[in-house]
Structure 1
């Protein structure tokens, strides 16, 4: 037995003990405290063997929070008299209460009904393919994450999961039997309707595959002539394939592999990529830091799949995990990033966290153009025709797509023609306002990650406190807003001058914290900078000045910094105690995640304030921007600011 298998069996054994043993048809048997058989001992069971925990087990077995003495007697295989005495004893110490009713002489219920709510409960809605879990154990959440998507959390122990086709297509299992076992461990029982649907999706994900022909070209292969004729040959055209080879095989055009996979994915049939892609020259590299357990799991899952997208909150160490994947692959690596600032930061991270020498690392962008065994390039440069051949000439063992949510855009997608044996994407939030996020997983690979709430609970990443503050209108801005139309209204609300006083108030309320203040408009940034005497870092700031300001902030020499949109992902901003979002990009969920993420770190205690002008569309935008974080377990509160609130 492998270590992984042994670990799975051990977890299953623990789960069985926690939930009760299972009989042959997987129905749960409650793990209640059993009393001795009178026939064996010659006496009735001792009353003191009946505890409040036993009472809760009987309630759970009965499926209701109230029970009769007869129900207790039946559950524990004892006499009615002994059960009544035991219940009387629990009542005498205040653990339970009695209540006479018409249907039965007496029913009993816990004094603290909420004790029952502290137990894990799983409810399945198979027609909607939803799973609602209350107070789940960590094991249950780990099992659910392998085949379901965490849609939202309630903040008080409730979780709602949705089983989507792509979750089944990308489940990390070698066979359907292993997936079924995981499902039953998570749910605590069989659910035939849900399992039948999951099996149908499992089969869909194995209908097509790409393979390399002995002559070197790529072949699309279908499981049957029917699936090839009714699906592939209906949605693909001459831009994707040359001609049929047989009833189940088509000759794929060179360079059309990514587009072909995208078309079939959108038709509901993901393609398994079994091509013999070049692995590039070997690269001897090791990490100089230790991976956390969940990072190690990410790397192992990526190694098994050969492609994927690491999804985790800011501060969870996706870059370090990607370097772990690079060490595991051991091949020359191309890293694609959105900006030259990120290219420099990647170069520094590689030198800091691996055994590679700086001479082995190259950067290819507007500032410098050097190709080395590990090369960091911008998406725009890699997608340009005049530079493409340079990247094609080298066989990359691994391609890393940083900020992978950009990939579906027309400009960035051109870089995905670089098809290496291993492809890895990174993103805190692979969502797009144009709903093209499915393309991320077809062009790069399936999502790999741990739900944010699990990382919050484990203390690896601190959950920030988020507050939307509704700011009153400055009189002049309010009049201008009423007369404006279209997008001008958005800008007037965003630049509402009353926000200057509110930012000043928040900074005064947290005098010892390091604060990042985000703005979307340059004029607003300059106004705040002048009013508060805080430097403003934007796209217009020279690179040497950016580095100086960021260095001073990291060292603690500088406590306040204003940042434009350039700080959303183009810069490796230092972590702050306080983030104030003075204006936002139309409610972008990804932007809200990025900005709130600047406060996520293990130390905890961070605060995020989002300012929205009261009575404007900014109110809706602010809620939308943070809704995504709320669904990931981050609590969000709202407050209306009064005009006479002190600013000093």
Structure 2
């Protein structure tokens, strides 16, 4: 026991981390491996240890004793014995159920339990009984191979994670290599480590998720896995812009001929040895009663690998299709496993467990991504707007605060502060962005703009012909603008943690000179926007970023060359994180 350590570890699986403690950074680094940040007031950050956080840790090689030892090394007082038992029990479940190749007829697999009693428990569950599992031995049950994904999904939801060792079919062979670019191309060390982690050992690899910051080169890691597998591949990503970027990387860095690479979007329907498609086209249907006709793409060719880019955005219909193709290798790429719909367990069971994670700040220390100074700017509301806000309800209340006209003047002054920087102004509401675009005389990119025109503006921004660009949420994902060094967020989607992380990711590419970037989040003072800002920032705070809180009345905020003041993430208050489901009903 030591009252000098940074954490208070509690029986209910929560951990309180003292922010001002000298051991804060060390403790945060350890907690990130097996706990999730749920609150971040200035005095104590609150972490929660969950079954999924423990199973992901186990998939990365952590044992229960290593987790308990890590907690003990940062705990102010003794770790509660009941919590130690919980950790041992939950981590111990990982690997006790295994799906393996059956010895019976083709099309059958076996579910093997570590002991007969565990299999008794599993077979007593009504949902499992309905799946067609049949006991074949005291510790084994037989299942149809086509139900492999459904059974993993159901058992994970019920608290029984399954280690899938049934292997994968090879798919149609495809020969490719790295294209020489003034010498042989090679992955960076951490990129190679990520690709190797996907491979796993002794049959444990071949499916799973790699988690790396925006700007870390996840696309190149995907190409590295494809180059290793030497097979036909289906790549699924978030939007048409990202499809173009994947195709450009495939063409630029591999020996694949352009005729071997297909685009499957709303504009084109090319099915080739390597095909890049969007989630939107897969989930498109003419009416709610119609089937998802483009889901047939999963079976159009003998794919040996499916890559799910931005896997945290995976729509529910794609989950269902993925449950039926568990014999195909599956690679998930993402900057954050956070999902606002609570479906993280489905990613775990159907795409695979976390195989590799690179902390954002660690990559920053290596110089591979920019150092970002984050500032929450609180903007006052004029009396008339304050009155309208007071009488509004639900989502309308939030929108009035988000579209505060006072933000325009703050944006003007921030642009004056960064006269030589390339700036992205990102917002949620088109009307607000249009008004800002017209007032500042800058171009606006939205989802309504043709892809060709979007591409032209992006290229002009890259070449420095356009210094400031306003963008809607179409720029949240997969937009490669390496020279952007300032992002000003004027509105967002309530408390979306993934959106905040992705928007900051737009400016993470390494920069010439001091390798520094600036992220400003504008929120209306004393409004629901402040509450949601706390939630939005949770993931980034967990990664080690700190938001200083400034006010639009502070002249020092806009002083050119002013030093960034180090501050705690939020003022000294512990407000609850708002529930997104209650956004429309709360006052």
TM-score normalised per structure 2: 0.79
Partner residue, 2:105? 215
* Contact 2:58-2:94 within 8 A present in 1 as well: no
- CA distance, structure 2, for counterparts of residue 613 and residue 451 of structure 1: 31
* Contact 1:397-1:420 within 8 A present in 2 as well: no
1:169 aligned to which of 55, 76, 81? 55
| Deviation of the 1:390 alpha carbon | 4.5
Unaligned runs of 5+ in 1: 1-62, 65-116
- CA distance, structure 2, for counterparts of residue 146 and residue 492 of structure 1: 36
* Contact 2:68-2:87 within 8 A present in 1 as well: no
Partner residue, 1:414? 320
1:634 aligned to which of 532, 545, 555? 545
> Residues 170, 596 of structure 1: CA spacing in aligned structure 2 closer, same or farther, 3 A cutoff?
closer
* Contact 2:176-2:256 within 8 A present in 1 as well: yes
Partner residue, 2:486? 578
1:508 aligned to which of 412, 416, 419? 416
Partner residue, 2:407? 499
Q: Does 1:283 align with 2:190?
A: no
| Deviation of the 1:180 alpha carbon | 5.5
Q: Does 1:622 align with 2:528?
A: no
For 1:227-274, what per-residue CA distance to the aligned partner results, in whole angstroms no more than 9, with x for missing partners? 122124315346522644445444434543222212111222111112
Partner residue, 2:426? 518
| Deviation of the 1:523 alpha carbon | 0.7
> Residues 616, 300 of structure 1: CA spacing in aligned structure 2 closer, same or farther, 3 A cutoff?
same
Give the length in aligned residue pairs: 528
> Residues 513, 235 of structure 1: CA spacing in aligned structure 2 closer, same or farther, 3 A cutoff?
farther
Q: Does 1:606 align with 2:517?
A: yes
| Deviation of the 1:146 alpha carbon | 9.8
Q: Does 1:298 align with 2:204?
A: no
- CA distance, structure 1, for counterparts of residue 476 and residue 294 of structure 2: 28
1:337 aligned to which of 223, 234, 237? 237
Q: Does 1:269 align with 2:160?
A: yes
- CA distance, structure 1, for counterparts of residue 387 and residue 79 of structure 2: 60
- SS state at 1:615 partner: coil
Equivalent residue runs for 1:117-516 within 5 Å: 125=9, 128=13, 144=30, 148-149=34-35, 151=37, 164-171=50-57, 198-213=87-102, 214-217=104-107, 218-237=109-128, 240-241=131-132, 243-253=134-144, 255-288=146-179, 289-304=185-200, 305-382=205-282, 385-407=292-314, 409-416=315-322, 417-447=324-354, 448-516=356-424
> Residues 644, 511 of structure 1: CA spacing in aligned structure 2 closer, same or farther, 3 A cutoff?
closer
- SS state at 2:495 partner: coil
> 596-605 or 566-575: which moved more?
566-575
- CA distance, structure 1, for counterparts of residue 543 and residue 523 of structure 2: 22
* Contact 1:222-1:249 within 8 A present in 2 as well: yes
* Contact 1:350-1:356 within 8 A present in 2 as well: yes
* Contact 2:212-2:360 within 8 A present in 1 as well: yes
> Residues 173, 443 of structure 1: CA spacing in aligned structure 2 closer, same or farther, 3 A cutoff?
closer
- SS state at 1:309 partner: strand
If you compute each CA radius of gyration, which structure gives the higher value, 1 or 2?
1
- CA distance, structure 2, for counterparts of residue 495 and residue 147 of structure 1: 38
- SS state at 2:526 partner: coil
* Contact 1:335-1:401 within 8 A present in 2 as well: yes
| Deviation of the 1:347 alpha carbon | 0.9
> 189-198 or 342-351: which moved more?
189-198
| Deviation of the 1:295 alpha carbon | 1.7
* Contact 2:58-2:91 within 8 A present in 1 as well: no
- CA distance, structure 1, for counterparts of residue 59 and residue 317 of structure 2: 35
Partner residue, 2:462? 554
- CA distance, structure 2, for counterparts of residue 625 and residue 139 of structure 1: 24
- SS state at 1:401 partner: strand
| Deviation of the 1:353 alpha carbon | 2.4
- CA distance, structure 2, for counterparts of residue 471 and residue 167 of structure 1: 37
- CA distance, structure 2, for counterparts of residue 504 and residue 139 of structure 1: 39
- CA distance, structure 2, for counterparts of residue 359 and residue 316 of structure 1: 28
| Deviation of the 1:297 alpha carbon | 1.6
> 545-554 or 219-228: which moved more?
219-228
> Residues 478, 294 of structure 1: CA spacing in aligned structure 2 closer, same or farther, 3 A cutoff?
same
Does 1 or 2 have the higher relative contact order (CA < 8 Å, sep 6+)? 2
For 1:299-342, what per-residue CA distance to the aligned partner results, in whole angstroms no more than 9, with x for missing partners? 11111022221112211222211211222222221111122222
- CA distance, structure 2, for counterparts of residue 248 and residue 269 of structure 1: 15
> 182-191 or 386-395: which moved more?
182-191
> Residues 135, 258 of structure 1: CA spacing in aligned structure 2 closer, same or farther, 3 A cutoff?
farther
> Residues 627, 389 of structure 1: CA spacing in aligned structure 2 closer, same or farther, 3 A cutoff?
closer
- CA distance, structure 2, for counterparts of residue 184 and residue 478 of structure 1: 52
- CA distance, structure 1, for counterparts of residue 47 and residue 16 of structure 2: 5
For 1:478-516, what per-residue CA distance to the aligned partner results, in whole angstroms no more than 9, with x for missing partners? 343233222222222211111111111111111111100
| Deviation of the 1:386 alpha carbon | 2.9
Equivalent residue runs for 1:92-103 within 5 Å: none
> 327-336 or 286-295: which moved more?
286-295
| Deviation of the 1:126 alpha carbon | 8.4
| Deviation of the 1:379 alpha carbon | 2.4
- CA distance, structure 1, for counterparts of residue 237 and residue 531 of structure 2: 32
For 1:396-442, what per-residue CA distance to the aligned partner results, in whole angstroms no more than 9, with x for missing partners? 221111111122x4233234233344211111121122322222111
- SS state at 1:425 partner: strand
> Residues 205, 359 of structure 1: CA spacing in aligned structure 2 closer, same or farther, 3 A cutoff?
same
- CA distance, structure 1, for counterparts of residue 189 and residue 443 of structure 2: 40
For 1:129-154, what per-residue CA distance to the aligned partner results, in whole angstroms no more than 9, with x for missing partners? 86979778999999x58963474999
> 206-215 or 381-390: which moved more?
381-390
- CA distance, structure 2, for counterparts of residue 566 and residue 466 of structure 1: 22
* Contact 2:39-2:538 within 8 A present in 1 as well: no
